[in-house]
Amino acid sequence: MKLEGQVALVTGASRGIGREIAMALADEGARVAVNYRARPDAAAEVVEAIETAGGKAVAVPGDVADPQEAAAAVARAQAELGGLHVLVNNAGIARDGLIYNLTAEDWLEVMRVNFGGVFNCTRAAMGHFMAQRAGAIVNVSSVMGERGWVGESNYAASKGAINAFTRCAALELAKFDVRVNAVLPGFTPTELVAGLLAKDGGRSIKQQIPLREFATARQVARVVAFLAGPDAAYLTGELVRVDGGAAAALVLGRPK
């Protein structure tokens, strides 16, 4: 197990991709702090699943969009699990809509949670990582941060900000042997993208993906686990797409 003896904090880990990331890190031997904002019962289920499989986990509450709560979540993970070696910034929300119809709150809330959570938790954890001269930060971004999609301007902008921040943080932390990378999932069926898949079950979108399948949350989680582990020791500042080849295509990649 490649993360044996290490402690990982995963934000937004009570459901979806975050849940699978917590499970994947635990599978590699990490003790996992399962962060949640509003679903203590779901977080408790993740903890129970990890411990039933022989791992160690704790549920850690906190709204990572709030700097003080983010710092408290980082501190609690360290205190309850005996350190911190891996931070996965996964928490995110969506408020889809055409730009003309978006409200200021639609825009600001998405930026506050998606990018704000990454900034707040990174800033809260980096002093510890710098002092121990070791650590891995993995930010869960999206291919939306590199490509356009109708009705996703605020979400895409928040993910684009995460991509830029990932590169800058990687440069600032490299001299402390702290790595910072991002995973960019494509369409992965979770609650977050349910609205995009509602029209036809996602068939029209799937036709535009070269591998003709959506990613599973587990597939995304395994890439996160790789970036958090020793096999990625020489990777930093990278944006790793997990999108079935969608971003490699020109428009649809073929006449339609």
Active site residues: 155
Tokens 């700097």 found at: 67
In this structure, the dihedral spanned by the alpha carbons of residues 184, 189, 190 and 196, taken in order and rounded to 10 degrees, is 90
| CA dist list (Å): 44 to 19, 79, 188, 218 | 11, 18, 24, 19
C-beta separation of 184 from 146 below 8 A: yes
Helix residue spans in 174-216 (DSSP H) = 194-197, 203-206
Query: What are the E-state strand segments in the chain?
Result: 7-10, 31-36, 57-61, 86-89, 135-140, 178-185, 239-242
How far is it, in rounded angstroms, from Cα 55 to Cα 49? 9
C-beta separation of 139 from 161 below 8 A: no
